[in-house]
Structure 1
Amino acid sequence: MLVRDAMSTVVLTIGPAHTLRQAARLMAARSVGAAIVLDTDTSGLGILTERDILVSLGAGQDPDLETAHAHTTTDVVYATPEWTLEEAAEAMAHGGFRHLVVLDEGEPVGVVSVRDIIRRWAPVRQQPAALVS
């Protein structure tokens, strides 16, 4: 199975000046755990995850003052849609992260998470109907 089969194509892209609160609201509204941070000044892509926001809050930082730029991971490992899920899982395990930005011809087309991979490897089974006594 390939990354394209598991990735989320709901890609949230934000700018580096977004506050962490703004990022969190957008992530919650789209039900995603990561946002791609596009910095047009550096032409770079980074990623901001729910964990980055959690670490900032845990450190007592103000989410209305902290920007995505200050918490963005910029040394991102990118996947392609043609990677196997095994390759994606290996990259995540090796790098210690839970999200991979998926690029196709240099453009972000999706994000694949550990949860996405698990859902493909172990599909949710229907629960039996409750027995009526």
Structure 2
Amino acid sequence: MTGRYLIFAACLLTAPELTADILVPVRTIRAKEIVSADDLVPKDVEIEGALSDVRDIVGQEARVALYAGRPVRPGDVGPPAIVSRNDLVTLVFLKGGLRIATEGRALGRGSEGEIIRAMNLSSRTTVSGRIQSDGSIEVQ
């Protein structure tokens, strides 16, 4: 058993230090701003969970304030919102061949695929639905 532990210890002592470039903002980016390539610089440091691929950040919307020099984590950015609170939206109900559409008002903000609440302007009832790529909301 001693030989096995010695080999393991020797590997730990000779293993190179692993670092990776992460991306950090060069300025404070406020929530709801779209991140551009000019907003980011690489930083040679290893931080667990920090984003390092520019494709994961550029074009995304900041969900929280991103501070200069601090790592960006996956939950800090997401797809840009296409529906904002109080926007007039089309509410769509689909079942089989039946399609009912009416006007509604968004009660939240979100991007494609997210579920938000909306108010049906005809009946004044609140419904929940998934945001579609065209900005309409498909209700259940």
Q: TM-score, normalised by structure 1?
A: 0.23
Over alpha carbons, which structure has the higher Rg?
2
Higher helix share: 1
Q: Which has the higher contact order (CA 8 A, sep 6+)?
A: 1
Q: TM-score, normalised by structure 2?
A: 0.22
Higher strand share: 2
